Amino acid sequence: MTDPPATPEPQEIIEIRFTVEPAYRGWRLDHYLQIRLGRLSRTRIADIIRRILTLNGNAVRKPGVRVKPGDQILIRRPAPVERDVPRNFEELARGPGYLAVYKPAGLPVHPSAHYWHNTLTALVRERYGEDSGLNMAHRLDRETSGIVLFGTDPASTRQLKMAFRDGLVKKRYLALVHGDLAQSCEVDAPIGPASDSVIRLRMGVRSDGQPSHTELIPRERFGDHTLVEAHPHTGRQHQIRVHLEHLGHPVVGDKLYGHPDRFFLTIVAHGGMPPELKSTLMLERHALHAAHIRFPVPDGSGAEAQVHAPLPPDMESLITRLRR
């Protein structure tokens, strides 16, 4: 007698809910979702609306439908099969209206097609509770380590985001780069989608891009490598990495910049890092760290706060080897 076939476990379904705020009265649904869901393409947003979204319990299908305050948006999709990531983060500082945490390299900050539970936003909810009021005020790339700021309530989050937008937040990064960067410099080079790449994520310097300004200061030189302090005065996607590649000093461990497209595509095709590429990269993630931030305290007092995050062990270990 043969055993009956095993009943497959039901797949976990993720539900994402939004209640449209008064400030978005009359907005197109797709424009509202681009604000709330982050950096998704218009094509991806339209696909979500057609297939897995309801508005006030009804399918809508049309991206251009107008929303009004109180509208209930529900997105239901299967949970992704997630890769393991570091799930630890450290609280660095807390003050009026803000929380600063240390994000480890490898931990995504926001949910995406590939991550849901293994994100900084999910871990913050787990630690502080769903009703904590904490909301992220800016982003770091998944492989970048360092400081991330949260507002502790909607008004504080809004003030922090406005401070970033208006250039009132001063950030200092540390990057380990290839080559000998001999002296300090400032890079004023506009950034936009890379015109010479088939990789949609890749950005590049181009004359019709958005104005982008980075100050770079060499802090320690190791012959063929340099530890660089980077001060981004604008906030473009991948700005520091793009500007360093533009100078001929790409970040150590960077899979996207400093190599031909085929390098990144090989990693994607293998679903991870092939052994033969590890020695080329020197580090399994790009060596970029958000080390220091100075920002207006979001309480209307006019005071400023500063937060520092020390270099993580992987960068410290590599720098120690280079010093020998």
Question: Nearest Cα to 112, choosing from 28, 201, 210?
Answer: 201
Confidence of residue 195 (pLDDT cuts 50, 70, 90): confident
Question: Nearest Cα to 291, choosing from 308, 313, 266, 303?
Answer: 308
Query: For residues 108 and 120, is the Cβ–Cβ distance under 8 A?
Result: yes
pLDDT tens for 228-246 read 999 999 999 999 999 999 9
Tell me the two tokens of residue 159. Answer: 């003030």
Mean pLDDT, residues 191-201: 86
> What is the per-residue pLDDT for 280?
79
Confidence of residue 116 (pLDDT cuts 50, 70, 90): low
For residue 215, how many other CB atoms are within 10 A of its CB? 15
Mean pLDDT, residues 266-286: 78
Q: Is the pLDDT score of 1 beyond 60?
A: no
Tell me the two tokens of residue 145. Answer: 């380590």
In this predicted model, which residue has the larger pLDDT, 250 or 43? 250
DSSP category for residue 24? G
Is 141 an annotated catalytic residue? yes
Q: Is the pLDDT score of 197 beyond 70?
A: yes
Mean pLDDT, residues 124-146: 90
Domain spans of the chain, in order of start: 13-78, 90-323
Work out the mean pLDDT of the chain and round it to a whole number.
88
The catalytic position among 71, 141, 254, 314 is 141
Task: Tell me whether strands 288-296 and 145-151 are parallel, antiparallel or unpaired.
Answer: parallel
Confidence of residue 81 (pLDDT cuts 50, 70, 90): low
> What is the per-residue pLDDT for 8?
45
Q: Measured between alpha carbons, how far is 84 from 96 in angstroms, rounded to an integer?
A: 34
DSSP category for residue 133? -
Mean pLDDT, residues 259-270: 78
In this predicted model, which residue has the larger pLDDT, 112 or 96? 96
Q: Is the pLDDT score of 205 beyond 90?
A: yes
Going from the C-alpha of 265 to that of each of 203, 259, 269, 276, the distances in angstroms are 16, 11, 6, 14
Give the full edge-to-edge strand order of the sheet including 13-19: 13-19, 72-78, 53-55, 58-59
Q: What is the pTM of this model?
A: 0.77
> What is the per-residue pLDDT for 2?
54
Contacts of residue 78, Cβ cutoff 8 Å, sequence gap at least 6: 11, 12, 13, 14
> What is the per-residue pLDDT for 70?
94
Q: Domain 90-323 adopts which CATH fold?
A: Pseudouridine synthase (3.30.2350)
Going from the C-alpha of 209 to that of each of 138, 149, 189, 231, the distances in angstroms are 21, 27, 8, 20
Give the DSSP H/E element, type plus range, for residue 321. helix 313-323
Going from the C-alpha of 242 to that of each of 25, 138, 193, the distances in angstroms are 37, 19, 11
> What is the per-residue pLDDT for 112?
61
Highest mean pLDDT among 51-65, 100-114, 274-288: 51-65
Q: Measured between alpha carbons, how far is 182 from 222 in angstroms, rounded to an integer?
A: 11
Q: Measured between alpha carbons, how far is 286 from 289 in angstroms, rounded to an integer?
A: 9
Q: Domain 13-78 adopts which CATH fold?
A: 3.10.290
